[in-house]
Structure 1
């Protein structure tokens, strides 16, 4: 439940930033989605580490593993899938939400069993 609440909140931050950057500012979609994603996942790491998984592991190695997971997630779901859907004519917000559904499953598994393993 904590994961859902935290990542639901950070996903909302991601979508809000994406809407501002792409919709209002006019930044190209790949740039906007990258910046929004980066900000949201930095927040997600801090909140999940402290509130959800209550990790006391050294931050340095844990951040390195987290960054590797985030890069894989970003390339597969955020950039590739959401951009492909957007190119196919899906509204960028809907494309990002569809990619977000795939991302949620991947990230929970990765955080639970790789990044914050006990």
Structure 2
């Protein structure tokens, strides 16, 4: 287990290095956590799509059930990986989990199911509709995770 902090630090240094090679204006606005989020959530989104295809095409589950199971699995994995690699694993997990559950409930109901089913209803293949939903949720989830779920809590100081 001695290599776990080293892995986290290597990941964070790699994200910072990516930001370091961006052109000047981008370098000032792109946080290393955005790069880390893109890597982690790109991976977990792949897990989501793979599971969705297996559940819907392989096991013949209804689309809503496949989306729900694949989404739940991928977002549990996303929370663990983002907390460990990208954000602050040293802070108490309880409040973070509560906030994360609230964020994914909103994301799931509005973006994942809404956009996926709307696209499918319009005749778009469900994988493509889920990809469109994934683009929308990427923006929402990064902002929510950075500033709400894993954001620093304000502490009052008395003078």
Q: Same fold (TM over 0.5)?
A: yes
Computed over aligned residues only, the root mean square deviation of the Cα atoms, in angstroms, reads 0.7
Quick check: which one's helix share is greater?
Answer: 1
Query: Aligned runs of 1:32-71 on 2, under 5 Å?
Result: 32-71=66-105
Q: Larger Cα Rg: Structure 1 or Structure 2? A: 2
- 1:90-105 matches, within 5 Å, as 90-105=124-139
Query: Matched residues in 2 for 1:29 and 1:100: separation?
Result: 16
Deviations 1:31-62 (A, max 9, x none): 10000000000000000001001332211111
Separation in 1, partners of 2:75, 2:62: 20
In 2, the alpha carbon distance for the partners of 1:57 and 1:115 equals: 11
Extract structure 1 runs of 4+ deviating beyond 4 A. Answer: none
* Deviates further, 9-18 or 22-31: 22-31
List alignment gaps of at least 5 residues for structure 1.
none
- Counterpart in the other structure of 2:116: 82
In the alignment of these two chains, the number of paired residues is: 118
In structure 2, the gaps of 5 or more residues are 1-34, 153-159
Q: Which has the higher contact order (CA 8 A, sep 6+)?
A: 1
| Aligned match of 2:57 | 23
Rounded Cα–Cα distance in structure 2 between residues aligned with 1:10 and 1:48: 10
